Amino acid sequence: MPELTPVEWEALNLSLRVAFWNVVFSLPLAILVAWVLARFEFPGKMLLNALVLLPLVMPPVVTGYILLLSLGTKGPIGAWLQSTFGIVVAFRWTGAVIAAAVMGFPLLVRAIRLSMEAVDRKLEASAATLGANRVWVFFTVTLPLILPGIIAGTILSFAKGMGEFGATITFVSNIPGETRTLPIAIYTFLQVPGGEESAIRLTIIAVAVSIAALVISELLARRATRRVHGLDA
């Protein structure tokens, strides 16, 4: 396969950067939300769960349009950020990170929550009887046990960030070198004569990255599971 052109490398590097920062910013909040949903009963829990999962069932273009309406320079949040801090995220690569984070957040929360719900509550109760508070029990008992779920969710969220298209192009458009991620670049090449070769190269890369992400996720999750259950030598 011929080497990638500078434009193709640019799209690949941008996608990797967007996917990375998507995970970095989403993971702490996802762990907190998963913990709340898995361990607490409160009014509005079903609504919170529905809001978390909403991007999975809502058309990505709708999600992107909502982000544009709220975080655009004329939106309530976006206008406040611009006037107060001089921060603009619409039509910027940082906006692509936000779009990827929103779309990948449900996958991250769900994987962590399922892992957390599978933890034996007696282990947490035992730590609590020794005087540990909820936060200490979480960091010393729960967190190590849910590590496989965190790893799996992180890789899924990363892969989702790499492949996100609808919400991204609606929120931050298709700007070369700024918001043209891998899937948007593939779409762009398919719209111009002679762009099929570049589209095929990027498609192969996208498939390879996705397969690698799934394989790495499975290997790391298995290793973490073995360590949790004390099976490693």
Distance CA 53, CA 56 (A): 6
Cα 43 from Cα 151, distance rounded (Å): 30
Task: Please provide residue 124's backbone torsions phi and psi, each rounded to the nearest 5 degrees.
Answer: -70, -40
pLDDT tens, residue by residue, 172-231? 999 998 999 999 999 999 998 989 999 999 999 888 888 887 888 778 777 766 765 665
Lowest mean pLDDT among 103-112, 134-143, 201-210: 134-143
Counting residues of the chain whose pLDDT is more than 90, the rounded percentage is: 61
Total-model pTM: 0.88
- The C-alpha angle with vertex 217 and arms to 227 and 116, in degrees rounded to 5, equals 60
Confidence (pLDDT) at 228: 59
**Among 128, 120, 127, 125, which residue's Cα sits nearest to residue 145?**
120
d(C-alpha 107, C-alpha 88), whole Å: 27
Which of these, 55, 84, 53, 22, lies nearest to 76 by C-alpha position? 84
Tell me which residue has tokens 């989403």: 26
Average pLDDT over residues 158-173: 93
Domains of the chain by start residue, with CATH: 6-64+90-228 (1.10.3720.10)
